[in-house]
Amino acid sequence: MELRGIGCAEVEGKTVLVRVDYNVPLSEGQVADDTRLRASLPTLRHLIDRGAKVVLMSHLGRPEGQVVEQLRLAPVAARLSELLGQPVQQLEACVGPTVEGAIAAGGAGDVFLLENVRFHHEETTNESRFARELARLGDLYVNDAFATVHRAHASTVGVADHLPAYAGLLMEKEIAALSRLESPRRPYTAIVGGKKARSKLGPLRDLVPQVDEILLGGGVAFTFLRALGADVGDSIVDEDLLDEVREIQAAANREKTVIHLPEDVVISEEISADAEVRNCDARAIPAGWKGLDIGPQTVSTFAARIQAASTIVWTGPLGAFELEPFASGTRSIANAVAASSAYSVIGGGETGEAVARFGLSGRVSYVSTGGGACLAFLRRKQLPALEALRV
């Protein structure tokens, strides 16, 4: 996929409107994880160093078109100021004369951050008037928010109808890394986890003809196990999806794509940091107990498959890794991927968070900043925001 890159844009003396993804966790009024802010720095420094005035726009959370005080971007502006080593002026709105006046008063190299664009319902409906108002704030537009490329919103698609549009450095990096999965070296192994089967069946259906094998864990595995007749106790199961799971398994059989299900799991009666845990056959979990992590035998089997792979994509943790009693499986698989010589892509979201928590982000080939966007790219879905950036 060839995009118009920021390197082609004449930015000196221009006001550049940049869509970034600063949808970050907050804790006690501060940014709890600044990974996404750091990922945007190369693009911001590129613009600042070349004499552009930079106007940033992002969403935070899901305020549903209402002003939610806890979702204001002031903490983001404060942390970004520290990372950039210069002030970032937080504006109290997204559009309007006050915003336009503040930006006009700025000079080359200044950085402004608009308020949460999702405080306006017109953002998610891509309302043309709102897109035009945003476009009035800049001379050209840069999209560096890969995590939002599957959303046709005013700040990701609508603005590009009114300004010359370019891909930021992070966007280019994401597309280059993920494009390598379009012609992967074989064997190609997908690791799929996560809490809910419903969010993963579509990706699984699309991955089956692309990969050689799938290592399945997390909550999604228990719906598969139940569909195949296993006793999974009180584990998370979506009963409405059992027929669809059987169809995916049948498709995998036709494609000769092997789906590896857990052999053993870590079970507990409760999800807590001090829970009593046991190891158990994944197909014979007692009533009242729930599977919350893959067990040691499964880890061993999965690690062997990872070692044999030449290309790996991983989306979704394999257990409730946030709690230590259920973190071992995800940690062990993360270590196996890090030790592998395969080209490995981590599909952002919770999986990226887990790999970062275990200190392994620098030992895999690429960690995407976008969970849903990464999956959409891998599934070869149309990504509306990318279409506006094509050469």
Q: Which residues contact 41 (CB under 8 A, 6 or more apart)?
A: 83, 84
Characterize 171-208 residue by residue with b for buried, 16 or more Cβ atoms within 10 angstroms of its Cβ, and e for exposed. bbbbbebbeebeebeebbbbbbbbbebebbbebbeebb
Q: What is the pLDDT of residue 343?
A: 97
The span from the CA of 372 to the CA of 347, in Å, is: 8
Active site residue 291: no
SS3 166: strand
Whole-prediction pTM value? 0.89
Active site residue 36: yes
Whether 335 contacts 358, CB under 8 Å: yes
| Cα dihedral value 273, 274, 278, 280, nearest 10 | -20
Whether 342 contacts 308, CB under 8 Å: no
Domain boundaries, the chain: 6-171, 184-378
Whether 57 contacts 19, CB under 8 Å: yes
Asked if pLDDT for residue 157 goes beyond 70, the answer is yes
Active site residue 195: no
Asked if pLDDT for residue 90 goes beyond 70, the answer is yes
The span from the CA of 33 to the CA of 50, in Å, is: 28
pLDDT in tens, 260-301: 999 999 999 999 999 999 999 999 999 999 999 999 999 999
- pLDDT, averaged across the chain: 95
Q: Which of 65-79, 150-164, 231-245, 377-391 is predicted least confidently?
A: 377-391
The span from the CA of 374 to the CA of 366, in Å, is: 12
| CA dihedral sign of residues 265, 268, 269, 273 | negative
The one catalytic residue in 196, 205, 357, 381 is: 196
pLDDT in tens, 328-352: 999 999 999 999 999 999 987 889 9
Superfamily of domain 6-171, CATH level 4 = Phosphoglycerate kinase, N-terminal domain (3.40.50.1260)
Ramachandran quadrant class, 218 (left: phi over 0; alpha: psi -120 to 50; beta: rest): left
Q: Which of 84-88, 300-304, 359-363 is predicted least confidently?
A: 359-363
The one catalytic residue in 193, 316, 349, 352 is: 349
Asked if pLDDT for residue 388 goes beyond 90, the answer is no
Phi, psi values for residue 337, rounded to 5°: -65, -40
Asked if pLDDT for residue 35 goes beyond 70, the answer is yes
The one catalytic residue in 36, 118, 173, 290 is: 36
Q: What is the pLDDT of residue 195?
A: 87
Cis bond before residue 87 (omega within 30° of 0): no
DSSP code of 130?
H
Residue of 369, 305, 373, 306 whose CA lies nearest to 343: 306
Same fold, 6-171 and 184-378: yes
Superfamily of domain 184-378, CATH level 4 = Phosphoglycerate kinase, N-terminal domain (3.40.50.1260)
Active site residue 72: no
Q: Which of 61-70, 78-87, 149-158, 346-355 is predicted least confidently?
A: 346-355
Q: How confident is the model at residue 1 (pLDDT cuts 50, 70, 90)?
A: low
- Tell me what the mean pLDDT of segment 356-369 comes to: 93
Asked if pLDDT for residue 321 goes beyond 80, the answer is yes
Q: How confident is the model at residue 135 (pLDDT cuts 50, 70, 90)?
A: very high
Whether 181 contacts 174, CB under 8 Å: no
**Residue 37 CB-density burial (10 A; 0-12 exposed, 13-18 middle, 19+ buried):** buried
Residue of 258, 223, 260, 221 whose CA lies nearest to 242: 223
